[in-house]
């Protein structure tokens, strides 16, 4: 190679390099599309909730695009999402976030499913100053690290079951209650536990059993035998769907009588599909229920959302889908208020978010958590083996009276 060719090659590569970096820095908006990125669990242990999340995102993208899209500086843009499958693996999720940002040039992110994966991705988005609106990471520790680019539309995990303790105390005539609790050892459940500890302190309640459940757990007979022996006023269980299903199975088999059973991840449809009427009277913490009276102009009310979702995907939307859809409404609102694609302008607009969606009011606290929406509590009520969620707290939306105490197994048919 002579000198001239060398020079030429160097020149060409320099230009190519420059072009690549140049184009990627503008890849956030391609033509009429605003490109969002998300690593999501389509395979692995979170795949069912990962798919609910994705369906929620897709439903909102389609709806917003159909209703005119996002207007920035007088021009209409549409949303588009690049998805990667993180295999329910935090390391993979962090790699994919890096890839979305550096290779695909994504400048705005949507969250993955679960607190654990959100925790893995947040440091990456923070490093590159990429605003991320997430809908499925509720762990309190996400909001205490001082992240500036993380926004969560959901209530933090410590609030999940506090309401249940308040309810138990109320039923006990305002006096403290005896609490038995079993929590899985993952970020989310441990935060729920912290919430219970706070509530117990606040109400003067006593925690008499405090078990931690391992991840591989499918047998909690020991905890339940203890519960039988010490007779608490309320039993609290949090260990994702697995914990809820194991608890119901063994409580009914061991005939454990507790006046009140409060859990997370215990959607009536899922529980009754596996356990029928045995799941009745369980109290479940939820981010959302379709009967709440919030509304927005894209999806209308929760009921309308549920109907449309059912039509599109063939099942009743779990709250994981609803909150995911809400994340896109937040992004749209922020883009329009920022009236710019500058990351920091969008981020500042996100900070000032104050809006109502069909999913609830959204306003971000200093840590990025949603402070405007309370958790709700529903009770599983059954007719035969057909069960549904009935909202019992907070009283504003309660459609049903809270059934307390749970009848003894010997009295249940």
Partner 1 sequence: MDFLIFKVPMLMVQASLDGILLGILFALIAYGMALQWGVMNIINIAQGDLVILGGYIAYTMYLAGIHPAWGVIVSPIIMYFVGWYLYKLVINKVVDRDLFISILATFGIAIVMQQLMNFIFGADVVVAQSEYGTTMLFDNSVTLPNSKIFSAVVSILYAIALVFYMKKSKLGRAIRATAQNARAAKILGVDTEKVYAATFGINAALCGIAGALIAITLTLHPYVGLPYTVRSFMIVIVAGLGNLPAVALSGMGLGVFEEFADYILGTEFRIGAVFLLLVFILVYRRFKLAKKREYLK
Number of residues forming the site for partner 1 (CB under 8 A): 39
Nearer to partner 1, 183 or 331 (CB): 183
| DSSP assigned state of 27 | T
Under the binding rule (CB under 8 A), the answer on residue 407 touching partner 1 is: no
**With CB under 8 A as the contact rule, which of the stretches 54-62, 123-131, 218-226, 281-289 interacts with partner 1?**
218-226
Under the binding rule (CB under 8 A), the answer on residue 231 touching partner 1 is: no
Under the binding rule (CB under 8 A), the answer on residue 246 touching partner 1 is: yes
Helix (H) or strand (E) holding 51: helix 47-66
Under the binding rule (CB under 8 A), the answer on residue 219 touching partner 1 is: yes
Burial (CB count within 10 angstroms: exposed 0-12, middle 13-18, buried 19+), residue 229: exposed
Among 145, 148, 171, 228, the residue binding partner 1 under the rule CB under 8 A is 228
Under the binding rule (CB under 8 A), the answer on residue 293 touching partner 1 is: no
**With CB under 8 A as the contact rule, which of the stretches 66-74, 115-123, 228-236, 341-349 interacts with partner 1?**
228-236
Give me the torsion for CA of 124, 125, 127, 128, rounded to 10°: 120
Burial (CB count within 10 angstroms: exposed 0-12, middle 13-18, buried 19+), residue 303: middle
367-406 footprint of partner 1 as x/- string (CB under 8 A)? ----------------------------------------
**With CB under 8 A as the contact rule, which of the stretches 28-36, 147-155, 244-252, 330-338 interacts with partner 1?**
244-252
Among 7, 32, 225, 344, the residue binding partner 1 under the rule CB under 8 A is 225
**With CB under 8 A as the contact rule, which of the stretches 40-48, 68-76, 193-201, 369-377 interacts with partner 1?**
40-48
Helices and strands (H, E) in the chain, number of each type: 12, 18
Helix (H) or strand (E) holding 151: strand 150-152
Cα–Cα distance, 271 to 262 (Å, whole number)? 13
47 to each of 43, 80, 206, 277, 357, how far by Cα in Å?
5, 22, 37, 27, 26
Helices (H), 254-317: 268-275, 302-313
Q: Three-state SS for 312?
A: helix
Q: How far is the CB of 273 from partner 1 (least distance, A)?
A: 9
Among 24, 27, 33, 48, the residue binding partner 1 under the rule CB under 8 A is 48
Q: How far is the CB of 48 from partner 1 (least distance, A)?
A: 5
The answer to whether the Cα torsion of 122, 46, 180, 412 is positive or negative is positive
Among 27, 82, 194, 254, the residue binding partner 1 under the rule CB under 8 A is 254
Q: Side-chain half-sphere of 367: how many Cα atoms within 13 Å? A: 15
Residues binding partner 1 (CB under 8 A): 43-48, 88, 182, 185, 211-214, 216-223, 225-226, 228-230, 241-242, 245-246, 249-250, 253-255, 270, 274-276
């Amino acid at each position: 190679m002579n000198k001239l060719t060398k020079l030429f090659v160097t020149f060409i590569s320099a230009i190519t390099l420059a072009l690549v970096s140049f184009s990627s820095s503008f890849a956030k908006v391609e033509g009429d599309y605003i490109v969002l990125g998300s690593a999501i669990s389509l395979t692995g242990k979170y795949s069912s909730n990962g798919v609910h999340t994705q369906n929620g995102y897709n439903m909102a993208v389609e709806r917003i695009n159909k209703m005119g899209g996002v207007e920035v500086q007088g021009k209409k843009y549409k949303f588009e999402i690049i998805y990667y499958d993180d295999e329910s693996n935090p390391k993979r999720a962090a790699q994919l976030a890096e890839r979305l940002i550096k290779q695909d040039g994504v400048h705005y992110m949507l969250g993955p499913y679960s607190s654990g994966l959100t925790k893995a991705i947040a440091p990456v988005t923070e490093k590159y100053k990429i605003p991320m609106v997430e809908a499925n990471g509720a762990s309190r520790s996400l909001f205490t690290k001082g992240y500036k680019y993380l926004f969560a539309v959901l209530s933090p995990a410590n609030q999940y079951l506090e309401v249940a303790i308040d309810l138990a105390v109320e039923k006990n005539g305002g006096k403290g209650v005896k609490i038995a609790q079993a929590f899985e050892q993952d970020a989310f459940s441990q935060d729920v536990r912290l919430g219970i500890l706070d509530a117990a302190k606040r109400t003067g309640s006593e925690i008499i059993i405090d078990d931690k459940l391992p991840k591989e757990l499918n047998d909690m007979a020991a905890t339940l035998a203890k519960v039988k022996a010490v007779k608490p006023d309320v039993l609290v269980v949090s260990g994702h769907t697995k914990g809820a299903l194991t608890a119901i199975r063994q409580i009914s088999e061991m005939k454990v009588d507790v006046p009140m059973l409060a859990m997370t991840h215990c959607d009536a449809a899922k529980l009754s599909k596996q356990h029928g009427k045995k799941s009745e009277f369980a109290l479940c913490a939820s981010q959302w229920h379709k009967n709440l009276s919030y509304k927005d102009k894209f999806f209308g009310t929760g009921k309308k959302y549920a109907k449309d979702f059912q039509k599109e995907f063939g099942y009743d939307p779990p709250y994981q889908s609803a909150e995911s859809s809400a994340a896109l409404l937040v992004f749209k609102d922020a883009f329009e208020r920022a009236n710019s694609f500058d990351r920091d302008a969008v981020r500042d607009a996100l900070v000032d978010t104050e809006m109502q969606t069909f999913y609830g009011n959204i306003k971000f606290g200093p840590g990025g958590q949603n402070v405007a929406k309370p958790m709700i509590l529903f009770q599983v009520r059954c007719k035969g083996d057909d069960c549904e969620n009935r909202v019992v707290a907070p009283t504003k939306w309660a459609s049903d009276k809270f059934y307390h105490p749970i009848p003894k197994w010997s009295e249940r048919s």
